[in-house]
Structure 1
Amino acid sequence: MNVAFCNSNPAKPTSDHPVPGAAHSPGRDADVIALIREAGRTEPALATTYTDARHRADRTRIEVFTSWPPGTLREDLPTSVDIHAALCTIDVYTTLTIERGWSPDRVESWWTTTLARELLA
């Protein structure tokens, strides 16, 4: 299960892939992720599982962003990590796919475009 579903890899941004690997939809994991998060409200072990996964995702984002040349990010590192985390949530994915009828591919495309616009200088 990939709780941090809007992942990046350490590749550098290019014109073809402005935020490499930035948009990976959770697909079928979405329901499991939501279940773990909701169950965590009453089950401390599941809350820890969800929180730990979010922290691992932040560490990955930091690793990726710091591997890029200085001046690549529009904002400082903490703000860039926050922007990425705020946009790439199970709630955004669910709203767009379930409530708005977007395909997972469309969400991934939107994430890539939006992250490039918001993160890159």
Structure 2
Amino acid sequence: MGDPVPSDRWEDIDAFYEELIEDHGWRQEPMRAFASRLASGPHGEVLVPSTSHEALGLSTASGFDDRLDRPMVFVLYDGHRRRFLVRYLGPDLRELRRESADAPDAPEVLARILDWLGLPR
């Protein structure tokens, strides 16, 4: 898979969500909590986080160009519906599947995310 993901990548993600919450009033507390659980969990060293608008991108590739050749997952939180949207992307960042979930780290949802990215559970 490559080198472990530096913890500062996850710290940047936390700061990103903190800014959305504190400075812009966005209801992204559940996303911040989800990212924090991922960062401190067993997959935090292999999942490479990124952001696109309010979405959390998850990949196994560090560089943008490398991500174009691998599957990726984007997780978004809809504060009005209080639901997460999980988007499963293939090469070239085309969405191939999506699902709505109460919690993206629920065992069955997280298993689908890890399977999509080719990671062991």
TM-score, scaled relative to structure 2: 0.31
Higher RCO, Cα 8 Å, sep 6+:
1
Structure with the larger helix share:
1
TM-score, scaled relative to structure 1: 0.31
Structure with the larger strand share:
2
